[in-house]
Amino acid sequence: MAKTLREDIIKALASGQFVSGQVIADQYGVSRAAISNQINALIDMGLDIFKVRGKGYQLANPIALLNRSDVTNFLACLGQDSPVEVHSIIDSTNDYLMRKLPHQVTSGQVCLAEYQKAGRGRRGRQWISPFGSHLYLSVYYKLEQGMSQAMGLSLVTALAVKDAIRQLADIDIQLKWPNDVYANGKKLAGILIDLEGQPTGDCHCVIGIGINVQMPESMALLIDQPWTDITSLVGGKVDRNLLAATLIYCLNMRIMKQRDSGLASMLEDWHQHDLFLNKEIKLLTGSKETQGVCRGVNEQGALMLEVDGIIKPIYGGEVSVRGLS
């Protein structure tokens, strides 16, 4: 009941109309206080709701909600038919698909959500996921070539995110090894890949992508690194359903290309967008710090770091790279 009530309030607010607390309370046979609690919960999730005496509640900016049939229709226009689930509130789209492994999910299954209660970033960080503001999307793939295909997957995914954004907007995208997506030197999207499997057996992966679409003011202060969003970069609204479908399409295409031709076929594209190519960088591996020059990536997806004239591949998942100021 509370869930339906909350979802109905969200739908009513999304259109931008005033929503009367009294009318909804009467419809559901609940108290005004119960409605007020729901509104407060939505404000905590990042919705910018205000109240006008005698009129009711209104969203500061109307939002176009995610809609499964819009996403699948756009995908059909692109010639694809991935299974898509759209959730209003979820813990994490990655965790949701990982819980379904191995038998309750088919390769290519997509999970999207309006809000993540426990969105995860890399290195155990939280991914702040305000309601209806951004894109939170995960896709499950069974890796037909086993763990070897998992190498380079983060680069392949970053390229797919770049492809999708470029298809819809004239934004200059930079890619930061292994899997960050930047514009104007600020973070625009993040990628989190969860893997499960044995080196010689079946290998499953869930690719999670968060793209900043329109950061609500109330959440902006909580982000601890320079960020940007698509709306401010293009100076207008972005259709999140179209963005989701384009992203699914681009990711499927890149994954197929990697399977058929390997990462080597995408290196030129990567190097054209590499944020650090031929720049001085410092590399943090645990507590160890190495300085060198970034010489791009190799066909396994390793960062090529030049130190004292010698170029060495850097693998390892928990390595971070920061530009020297």
Contact 169, 267 (CB under 8 A): no
d(CA 32, CA 251): 46
Rg (CA), the chain: 21
Interaction of residue 94 with ligand BTN, rule CB under 6 A:
yes
Find the part of the chain contacting ligand BTN (CB under 6 A) among 6-14, 72-80, 206-214, 264-272: 206-214
Q: Which residue has the tokens 């809609």?
A: 67
Interaction of residue 210 with ligand BTN, rule CB under 6 A:
yes
Residue nearest to ligand BTN (CB): 190
Residues with a known catalytic role: 122, 187, 322
Interaction of residue 121 with ligand BTN, rule CB under 6 A:
yes
Q: Which residue has the tokens 């500061």?
A: 60
Nearer to ligand BTN, 144 or 196 (CB): 196
Q: What sign does the dihedral 218-222-226-231 (CA atoms) show? A: negative
Interaction of residue 45 with ligand BTN, rule CB under 6 A:
no
Interaction of residue 120 with ligand BTN, rule CB under 6 A:
yes
Helices 32-44 and 2-14, axial angle in degrees (round to 10): 70
3-state DSSP of 308-320: CCEEEEECCCCEE
Interaction of residue 191 with ligand BTN, rule CB under 6 A:
yes
Find the part of the chain contacting ligand BTN (CB under 6 A) among 4-12, 120-128, 214-222, 315-323: 120-128
Pairing of strands 84-90, 110-116: parallel
Interaction of residue 192 with ligand BTN, rule CB under 6 A:
yes
Q: How many residues bind ligand BTN (CB under 6 A)?
A: 19
Query: Could you tell me the smallest distance in angstroms from the CB atom of residue 139 to ligand BTN?
Result: 10
Instruction: Give DSSP secondary structure letters for 252-296.
Output: HHHHHHHHHH-GGGGHHHHHHHBTTTTSEEEEEETTEEEEEEEEE
Q: Using CB under 6 A, pick the residue from 38, 72, 82, 92 that binds ligand BTN.
A: 92
Find the part of the chain contacting ligand BTN (CB under 6 A) among 87-95, 162-170, 261-269, 315-323: 87-95
Structural element, H or E, at residue 54: none
Structural element, H or E, at residue 96: helix 93-99
| One-letter identity of residue 303 | L
Nearer to ligand BTN, 122 or 295 (CB): 122
Find the part of the chain contacting ligand BTN (CB under 6 A) among 5-13, 53-61, 62-70, 130-138: 130-138
Interaction of residue 122 with ligand BTN, rule CB under 6 A:
yes
Binding residues (CB under 6 A) for ligand BTN: these are 92-94, 116, 119-122, 125, 127, 136-138, 190-192, 208-210
